[in-house]
Copies of this chain bind each other. A is one copy, B any other.
Amino acid sequence: MHAAEDLELVGAVDKDDSLDALASAEVVVDFTHPDVVMGNLEWCIGNGIHPVVGTTGFDAGRLETVRGWLAASPGTNALIAPNFGIAAVLMMHFAQQAAKYFESAEIVELHHPNKADAPSGTARRTAELIAEARRKAGLGPSPDATTTELEGARGASVDGVHVHAVRLAGLIAHQEVILGGDGEILTIRHDTMNRSSFMPGVLLGVRRVQGLAGLTVGLDRLLDL
Partner of A152, one of B110, B144, B147, B152: B152
CA distance A86 to B169 in the complex (A): 14
**Nearest chain B CB to A218 CB, angstrom units:** 15
Q: Which 6 A-B pairs have the closest CB atoms?
A: A170-B180, A184-B197, A183-B197, A168-B180, A153-B156, A164-B164
Known pairs A90-B98, A97-B225, A153-B155 / 16 extra A-B pairs, C-beta < 8 Å: A103-B170, A108-B166, A114-B143, A143-B167, A151-B152, A155-B164, A162-B166, A166-B178, A168-B185, A169-B182, A170-B180, A170-B191, A171-B193, A183-B196, A186-B189, A186-B190
Kindly report how many copies of this chain are found in the complex they form together: 4
Closest to A97 in B: B225
Interface residues of A in 173-203 (CB under 8 A from B): 178-197, 199-200
Chain A interfacial residues counted at CB < 8 A: 77
User: Can you name 7 A-B pairs with beta carbons within 8 Å?
Assistant: A104-B167, A108-B166, A118-B148, A155-B155, A168-B180, A184-B192, A186-B188
* CB pair A187 B185 closer than 8 Å: no
Per-residue contact bits, chain A 110-139, to B (CB 8 Å; 1 contact, 0 not) = 100111111100001000000000000000
CA distance A187 to B166 in the complex (A): 13
Whether A185 contacts B163 in the complex (CB less than 8 A), given A116-B145, A118-B153, A150-B119, comes out as no
Report if A94 contacts B (CB, 8 A).
yes
Closest to A171 in B: B180
CB-defined contacts of A164 to chain B, threshold 8 Å: 108, 153, 155, 164, 166
Whether A183 contacts B170 in the complex (CB less than 8 A), given A148-B117, A150-B163, A154-B152, comes out as yes
Report if A51 contacts B (CB, 8 A).
no
Closest to A100 in B: B224
